[in-house]
Structure 1
Amino acid sequence: MRVGLTGGIGSGKSTVSALLAERGAVVIDSDLLSREVVEPGTEGLAAVVARFGDGVLDADGRLDRPALGAIVFADDAARRDLEAIVHPLVRARAAELERAAGEDAVVVHDVPLLVETGQTDAYDVVVVVDVPTETQVERLVQQRGMAEVDARARITAQATRERRTGAADHVVDNTGSLEELTQSVDSLWETLTS
């Protein structure tokens, strides 16, 4: 079974992903893959530097994510250019990992921009982790140390809550405690495996 898992930044999608992995899901994390495909020496990093310049590299020749983020979150065209470079590489790597998981596995693709990139139809089930926008802002400011204006810019760059939840087969509400979230994931896992 192919499960597409998504949620807005700061929604707790990574926590849900980890809980599903604990229950036996094979998790393919697009965020991790997006880092892997732009490691030094990769075609991905070469393409990013060709488009955005050497200013997106740190002193060690690695991608300087904050420098790149400052460019792409302030300019929609630049963000689309970055996505056009990275997304196909991530999808190809995810397909390799899914093939390796085997036919009987519950494969959870943790994809932050699942709805935005029009991939919902590629999955048997779409799961959305959801919290109110103000909760996202609060978490990004408190847990990640972002300035509120930057947190809001990142949230605005993603699909709206309504658009995400409208694409979902299952919505996991993450406004409660970790215990409540765990119970929701247990229920979801039972549904996915029955």
Structure 2
Amino acid sequence: MAQFSSTSQSPPLDLSFFKGKIPLVGLTGGIGAGKSAIALHLAELGASIIDSDQIAHLITGPNGAAIEAIRQTFGASYLLDSGALNRSKMRQLIFAEPQAKLQLEAITHPLIREETLRQAQRQMDDGADYLVFVVPLLIESGLWLAHLNHLVVVDCSPENQIMRVMQRSQLKRAEVEQIMQSQVTREARLIHADTIINNDGDLALALQQTSELHQRLTRR
């Protein structure tokens, strides 16, 4: 649940190789907005999805590429019995000690960038119409906007965000609010959007908007 893909002191992701060869689409939104549902529907329609949060889970899962460095930096107590990162405990540390966030990012971000580029190359080689980069903290990073041809923001009210995350992740309201406060405001996301997917009510309507977006992108 911790949002690990935010800002970093390490070199930024370089997507210049892909520019002009294939449309690059960013997909973002606040926690609980419904990014995963929209990304899944785009994938079902045939879009090529590269999800930074899924990559982060992969490298911090059991035997993940980041695990040994995490063990050496933070200690074995920050790992679960399965060998995966204890995300709950790490989230608490990050909120208590900002330096820990930078230490974790120094481990994870280079690995996330490497896997992102690998997946992007593979999907372009496989003939993708466009690439969708799902990045929870896309705006916050300050690194993506210059590379993208189109930015999609999945939007809903803050109260819906809170209720959804509490229900799915068994977090307390104060914990969800703390995570939201670490993200940019709703208004800051929307001002950058080329397309806004409204996911405040009926999911079917949000999926219809997503289908229309896919049709526009594939007509390019």
Question: What TM-score results when the alignment is normalised by the length of structure 2?
Answer: 0.81
Structure 2: segments with no counterpart, 5+ residues: 1-22
Tell which deviates more after alignment, 45-54 or 22-31.
45-54
Equivalent position to 1:26, from 33, 42, 48: 48
| Distance apart, 1:24 and its partner CA | 0.6
SS of 2:146's equivalent in the other structure is helix
**Residue 193 of structure 1: aligned partner:** 218
| Distance apart, 1:2 and its partner CA | 1.3
**Residue 165 of structure 2: aligned partner:** 140
- CA offsets 1:94-145 (integer angstroms, 9 cap, x no match): 1101111126422111111111111222222111111121111111112322
Would the aligned equivalents of 2:62 and 2:82 in 1 still touch at CA under 8 Å? no
**Residue 90 of structure 1: aligned partner:** 112
Q: Residue 74 and residue 170 in structure 1: after superposition, are their counterparts in 2 closer, same or farther (change >3 A)?
A: farther
Amino acid at match of 1:185: T
| Distance apart, 1:22 and its partner CA | 0.9
Amino acid at match of 2:52: S
Structure 1: segments with no counterpart, 5+ residues: none
**Residue 184 of structure 1: aligned partner:** 209
Please tell me the root mean square deviation across aligned C-alpha atoms, in Å: 1.7
Equivalent position to 1:175, from 193, 200, 204: 200
Equivalences, count: 194
**Residue 175 of structure 2: aligned partner:** 150
Give, in whole Å, the separation in 2 of the partners of 1:10 and 1:74: 23
Equivalent position to 1:163, from 188, 197, 202: 188
Question: What TM-score results when the alignment is normalised by the length of structure 1?
Answer: 0.91
Give, in whole Å, the separation in 2 of the partners of 1:133 and 1:74: 24
Would the aligned equivalents of 1:3 and 1:109 in 2 still touch at CA under 8 Å? yes
**Residue 8 of structure 1: aligned partner:** 30
| Distance apart, 1:23 and its partner CA | 0.8
